[in-house]
A = this chain, B = another copy of it.
Amino acid sequence: MVETCDIEMEGHLIDSLTLTKALDKIMSMGGEFEIKKFQVGKKKHDTSYVMIAISGDDADHLGRILLALHPLGARVIEVEDVHLEIAPKDRVVPRGFYSTTNHITSVRYRGAWLEVEDIQMDCLIIIKDGRAVCVPIGQIEKGDAVVVGTGGVRVTPPQRPRERTFFEFMSNEVSSERPSGEIIKQLAGEILATKKVGGKIAVVGGPGIIHTGAGDALAGLIRDGYIDVLLAGNALAVHDIERQFFGTSLGMDPHGHLTSAGHRNHIYAISEVISSGSIRRAVEDGKLKGGIMYEAVKRDIPYVLAGSIRDDGPLPDVVTDTVLAQKAMFEALRGVDMVIMMATMLHSIATGNLLPSRVKTICVDINPSTVTKLMDRGSAQAIGLVTDIGIFLPALAEEVKMQKEAS
Contacts and interface: CB of A to CB of B under 8 A. Distances in A.
A311 B322 contact: yes
A169 B257 contact: yes
A153 B362 CA distance: 40
A64 B259 contact: yes
Interface stretch (A3-11, A219-227, A264-272, A293-301): A264-272
Using C-beta atoms within 8 Å of the partner chain, give the interface range for chain A: 35 or more
A34 B375 CA distance: 34
Contacts of A284: none
Contacts of A121: 263
Interface string A82-122: 00000011111101010100000000000000000000011
Interface in A365-382: 366-369, 372-373, 375-376, 378
A237 to B, nearest CB: 15
Given A27-B162, A329-B309, A368-B369, A179 B35 contact: no
A310 B212 contact: no
- How many chain copies? 4
A387 interface: yes
A179 B124 CA distance: 29
A271 B124 CA distance: 12
A394 to B, nearest CB: 6
Contact of A137 (B42, B207, B313, B322): B313
Contacts of A160: 24, 27
A258 to B, nearest CB: 8
The A contact surface, by secondary structure, is: mixed
Contact of A326 (B43, B169, B309, B367): B309
Given A99-B264, A177-B212, A184 B391 contact: yes
A131 B60 CA distance: 55
B372 A174 contact: yes
Interface in A167-209: 168-169, 172-184, 186, 207-208
Nearest to A369: B367
Contacts of A386: 366, 388
A186 to B, nearest CB: 8
Contacts of A32: 43-44
10 contacts: A27-B160, A92-B275, A99-B267, A122-B267, A122-B312, A137-B270, A175-B376, A178-B256, A322-B322, A368-B372
Given A180-B390, A308-B309, 19 more contacts: A14-B14, A27-B160, A92-B274, A93-B271, A137-B267, A137-B270, A172-B258, A174-B375, A174-B376, A179-B213, A179-B256, A182-B213, A308-B308, A309-B326, A309-B350, A314-B322, A386-B388, A387-B390, A388-B391
3 smallest CB-CB distances across A and B, nearest first, come from A180-B390, A179-B213, A68-B260
